[in-house]
Amino acid sequence: MTEQTHDIIIVGGGPVGLTLALSFVRFLGGARIALVDRRPFTVPDDKRAYALTASVVRIFTALGLWAELLPEAQPINGMRITDSGTADISRPLFLTFAGDVAPGEPFAHMVPNRVLTAALLNAVGGAVKFVAPASVTGFTGTGGAGVLELGDGRVLAAPLVVAADGAQSALRGMAGIETVGHDYRQAGIVTTITHELHHDGIAYEHFLPAGPFASLPLPGGFRSSLVWTDTLAAADRLKALPLTAAADLIEAAMGATLGAVTVEETLQSFPLRLQLAKRFIGPRLALIGDSAHVIHPVAGQGLNLGLKDAAALAEIAIEALRLGLDPGVPEMLERYERWRRMDTAVMAMVTDQMNRLFSNDIAPVRALRDFGLGLVDRVPPVKDFMIRNAAGLTNRGPRLVAGQPI
């Protein structure tokens, strides 16, 4: 069939791919953008929510989207961290963080998935070409363009193709890019809960022997998003329980932090692993989001890393196209890889070591880590550094991360 030519093709219509598309819409009017996904582009009907750091809030502010998201966003006003063993009745508090990285700027907000996706889809509107549902059956990056073959026979071409198609990225495989990593032999259990006490915008992280347990505040004051790391077998057992029985276990794990608990929806789980692409680029191809990296959710940074990928790639490609340059040549792609690889590697290492340090019940290790947490709690400059790092504001980044237009 006739080849359809574009300036940029993005494969993957999740928040990362949509954010990249919106960057072109906002700052490169008239760009021919194709957004390809194997599923229709619709607003999801679920209760998932994302913790968006201050750096990502600045991205959406620069893109003109944050004002639309803010009414349904819940600022995280603080974080409280506890560490407890299997038989411990209480949840001793070892470390607390205030919520602001600057006056009036919380280090993170919780935003429902449906709200974020709806706002992104509405913002890109008719300015991009939606190609969905469509399966990618072939990719080549030789010559002057990346060429996609779709299952229905269509052929799409662009100087730069972007893989935003997730951890099992088909495009990454077609480009022959391998990954490194390891299986954590853990599962992430997620659900939404309602609770008796008002959360006051506080996020709680309980370090339990099998892995961290976090409750993240949602709008309204009496609902929270739950992320529980446990063994694969424990996750299966928990999912098989009636919701009332699961609520009892969740309440016990929380240590009555928020009072009586009710589970709003069926529990879901997903296996956890560390996975980094050996290269973030290939001929005429750039990887962003989970296509490039999957890290442990202990710090809630997975989506934030992907959105910073989108900000970096957008800046490089938009600058090139404005100057009439080719955004898919090796020197442009290598600049993107250099910009993002170190940030990703550091976060992967930090989350990996945090999980190793806290996912055990060895008494000497617990004593050492609890001493460390208590020490950090008493040194304000260290706490300030840690919270700015969690907010993604420690290193020079793309203009969008600073809230500036491209």
Distance CA 320, CA 297 (A): 34
Q: What is the pLDDT of residue 1?
A: 47
Q: What is the pLDDT of residue 258?
A: 93
Q: At what angle do helices 302-322 and 54-62 cross, to 10 degrees?
A: 30
69 part of a folded domain: no
Amino acid in the structure at residue 374: G
Per residue in 336-395, pLDDT tens? 999 999 989 988 988 888 887 766 666 665 656 555 655 555 556 555 655 666 666 766
Q: What is the pLDDT of residue 389?
A: 66
Per residue in 150-201, pLDDT tens? 999 999 999 999 999 999 999 999 999 999 999 999 999 999 999 999 999 9
145 part of a folded domain: yes
Distance CA 266, CA 400 (A): 37
17 part of a folded domain: yes
Q: What is the pLDDT of residue 83?
A: 74
**What is the C-alpha end-to-end distance of the chain, expressed in Å?**
36
Instruction: Give the H/E segment covering residue 223.
Output: strand 223-231
Distance CA 366, CA 85 (A): 9
386 part of a folded domain: no
The percent of residues in the chain predicted with pLDDT above 70, rounded, is 87
293 part of a folded domain: yes
Peptide bond before 364: cis, by omega within 30 degrees of 0?
A: no
- Count of domains observed in the chain: 1
Structural contact between residues 201 and 75, judged by C-beta atoms closer than 8 angstroms: yes
40 part of a folded domain: yes
The overall average pLDDT reported for the chain is 89
Structural contact between residues 196 and 176, judged by C-beta atoms closer than 8 angstroms: no
Q: Which domain holds residue 279?
A: 3-48+115-180+274-358+398-402
Q: What is the pLDDT of residue 207?
A: 84
Per residue in 76-118, pLDDT tens? 998 888 876 555 555 666 677 776 777 888 989 999 999 999 9
Q: How much is the average pLDDT of 19-46?
A: 94
140 part of a folded domain: yes
Angle at 8 between CA 398 and CA 14, to 5 degrees: 70
Of 100, 108, 91, whose CA–CA distance to 49 is shortest? 108
- Least confident stretch, 10-14, 116-120, 165-169, 397-401: 397-401
Per residue in 285-307, pLDDT tens? 999 999 999 999 987 889 999 99
Instruction: CATH number of the domain at 37, please.
Output: 3.50.50.60
382 part of a folded domain: no
